[in-house]
Structure 1
Amino acid sequence: MGLITWRSTLYGTEISRDLISTITDAVLEEVSEWRNRPLDKIYPIVFIDGFVSKCRLDGAVNNRTVYVIYGINLEGKKDVLGLYLGEHEGSKFWLQVLTELKNRGLEDVFILCADGLKGLSEAVESAFPKALFQTCIVHMCVCY
């Protein structure tokens, strides 16, 4: 059986699957700690969005949505609050994510900026009833 490698044409480097697995295993604990860390109580502005990426799961390559949440803290600095993987973007999954953020200590959001996904504003209102829901200006534009 031949050695399967990943080759970067940009850098001219080859990396074996074993090395990738070793690196991944070495950082998994730190990733878990980061993902479950306590959050600030207040993020005045929070941005949420999802994008589709190809992922290898159970030996097959499938499209999955990567949910991205970042906030601006009281000092004005950006903070990635979480990254989540789901089958497809939906307001029910977003509600689960927002609830997890609350469970990690986030108590209040002043403005939550997102796309116009159906049911999302209701999910935000359920998790953070005082938050103003703002449709992202990029998502408001219609380009022809």
Structure 2
Amino acid sequence: MYQSGMSTREIGKFIERILGNTYSPTTISHITDVVKEDIEKWHTRPLQKGYSVLYLDGLYVKLRRDTVEKEVIYVVLEVNEEGYREILDFFVGG
């Protein structure tokens, strides 16, 4: 929600409507900071040397920055030899 342009107050109100719990803008800000750190660690994790199958695809979603525009989110998905799928990475295109 934060990435798509919602303010910390808007996120707090949304969570209160959905879950019934109240969070201050400061708490929402702290949560988004922690999540951003976790995502950065995930993006920079070491990957295997080879994969059986790679899929590259994009998904268009509306993102709010100064205006609301559709932007593509690129996704890299792998399928290993046992048939299990894993998202290797994603990023917002431009």
Band of TM-score, shorter chain: 0.5 to 0.7
CA displacement 1:28-75 (0-9 Å, x = unmatched): 222111101121111111122111112233x44332111111101234
Deviation, 1:12, is 4.1
TM-score by length of 2: 0.67
Supply the distance in 2 between the matched residues of 1:11 and 1:46 (Cα, whole angstroms): 37
Aligned pairs for 1:44-123 (under 5 A) are 44-57=52-65, 59-87=66-94
Q: Does the residue aligned with 1:6 lie in a helix, a strand or coil?
A: helix
Supply the distance in 2 between the matched residues of 1:15 and 1:52 (Cα, whole angstroms): 30
Number of equivalent positions:
84
Name the residue aligned to 2:4: none
Supply the distance in 2 between the matched residues of 1:83 and 1:67 (Cα, whole angstroms): 5
Q: Does the residue aligned with 2:52 lie in a helix, a strand or coil?
A: strand
Name the residue aligned to 1:27: 35
TM-score by length of 1: 0.47
Unaligned runs of 5+ residues in structure 1 are 88-144
Assess, with a 3 A threshold, how the Cα gap between structure 1 residues 54 and 77 changes in structure 2: closer, same or farther.
Answer: same
- Which has the greater radius of gyration? 1
Supply the distance in 2 between the matched residues of 1:53 and 1:18 (Cα, whole angstroms): 27
Unaligned runs of 5+ residues in structure 2 are 1-8
Q: Which structure dedicates a bigger proportion of its chain to strand?
A: 1
Question: Which stretch has the larger CA shift, 3-12 or 38-47?
Answer: 3-12
Assess, with a 3 A threshold, how the Cα gap between structure 1 residues 15 and 65 changes in structure 2: closer, same or farther.
Answer: farther
